[in-house]
Amino acid sequence: MTALLFSRRRPALAALLTFGLALATLALIQRGSGPISSSGSSPVLRVDPRPAGSTEERIARLQDAVRAAPERADLGAALASAYLQRARETGDPGYYTRAGALLERATARDPRNAQVALGRATLALARHDFRGGLELAWRARALAPGALASYPAIVDALVELGRYRAAERELQRFVDAKPTLPAYARVSYLRELRGDLDDAAGAMARAVTAGAAAPENVAYVQTLLADLERARGNSAAAQQAYADALAALPGYVPARAGRARLAAQRGDLTAAARLWRAVVARRCHDDPLGGGPCL
């Protein structure tokens, strides 16, 4: 069993982890934990564990499916999950609104659908409604007690609420059941909260090795690993991890921002300023990873 360690939380990291909830849900679906079954009568979407194409293509396919079968709550929940993944990729909060509308309609159609309850939990936590998110995540588990997909939301909510021992117990069960990218990333986070950067980096490296179907998910954990290496003073390892993140997803803004911070940490302020200008230019222009023009 993997030992987990806790200490006081750091708000910046807490916000980053909360933003990663869509990663957890999507990765669990994609890596074969199986769909969440509903205790009601509605059919449950059987998600392909190796979805083809980009998130935008996945959204287009699911939009067609929802239009063809608007009564299917599980299809609405799957589309909402794809919208949340797209929010990660673009930084556009408008996808939260779209996901929320879908989940409201899906709840009305099938209030006992576990997939819908988990989608609502994920959205609530992304909006920093930690108590509401935890309640919904517990509901998702009650509706599908054998599924693993509720673990990330439960663990994240418990951490954000300061209930570290309960979070440790839930995460230990998650790691023991299926040590995948979402599980290892949370082990890393909790070890970092404890101040153990060496073990945190080791756990995050395992998250990178575990991989995921969505390129953004892989780039995300590679960037977190780079951040840990930078915090440990391993500039070369950090530089390589940022490069790996950008290879997984070219132009990935968090990785580019990390490179700018690394240059500043090295004392190369000229390079840091140049890299930050590139980040701002990409983030503030209308491109697939920038989220639209700055206001």
Per-residue pLDDT at 45 exceeds 80? no
Phi, psi of 51 (to 5 degrees): -60, 135
Residues 283/290, Cβ–Cβ less than 8 Å: yes
Lowest mean pLDDT among 19-23, 153-157, 270-274: 19-23
CB-count exposure of residue 270 (10 Å: 0-12, 13-18, 19+): exposed
125/123 Cα distance (integer angstroms): 5
Per-residue pLDDT at 224 exceeds 50? yes
CB-count exposure of residue 134 (10 Å: 0-12, 13-18, 19+): buried
Mean pLDDT of 263-287: 86
Q: What share of the chain is helix, strand, coil (3-state, %, to 5)?
A: 70, 0, 30
What CATH code is assigned to 11-213? 1.25.40.10
Output 49 or 260, whichever has higher pLDDT: 260
pLDDT in tens, 67-92: 999 999 999 999 999 999 999 888 88
Q: Which residues of the chain does CATH 1.25.40.10 include? A: 11-213
Q: What is the DSSP string of 155-209?
A: HHHHHHTT-HHHHHHHHHHHHHH---HHHHHHHHHHHHHTT-HHHHHHHHHHHHH
228/238 Cα distance (integer angstroms): 8
Output 4 or 254, whichever has higher pLDDT: 254
Q: How high is the pLDDT of residue 71?
A: 94
Q: In Å, how far are 10, 63, 109 from 77, measured between CA atoms?
A: 31, 11, 11
Query: Which residue in the block uniquely carries the two structure tokens 């290892």?
Result: 184
Helix/strand number for the chain, H first, E second: 15, 0
Q: What is the DSSP string of 249-276?
A: STT-HHHHHHHHHHHHHTT-HHHHHHHH
Mean pLDDT of 7-34: 39
pLDDT in tens, 199-218: 999 999 999 999 888 888 89
What CATH code is assigned to 217-295? 1.25.40
Closest alpha carbon to 7 in 151, 143, 189: 189
